Amino acid sequence: MATKIAYVEKDDCTSCNMCADNLPKYFQMDDDDLSETHVNGEQINNAEIPDEDVKAVQDVMDECPGECILWKK
């Protein structure tokens, strides 16, 4: 399976914090209160998501009010 990389289209983020609250392992808010993905504080907004966590990230994507958490194509 190809590596899945998750990122946030920050222009569309509503700063609701839902992703960072529910899945802090992969989402954090930046200094402008916009979400970004990470892995252990690295791979900022370019996070490789291991297969076992793809569903958890997808669930957050599906709930994001800005529809701005995306898989890199």
Could you give the string, one character per residue 12-51, with x where binding to ligand SF4 holds by CB under 6 A and - elsewhere? -xxxxxxx---------------x----------------
Nearer to ligand SF4, 1 or 64 (CB): 64
Q: Which range of residues in 39-47, 50-58, 62-70 is near ligand SF4 by CB under 6 A?
A: 62-70
Nearer to ligand SF4, 1 or 41 (CB): 41
Does an H or E element contain 69, and which? strand 69-71
Nearer to ligand SF4, 8 or 47 (CB): 8
Does an H or E element contain 71, and which? strand 69-71
Does an H or E element contain 21, and which? helix 18-22
Question: Chain-centre distance of CA 14, in angstroms?
Answer: 13
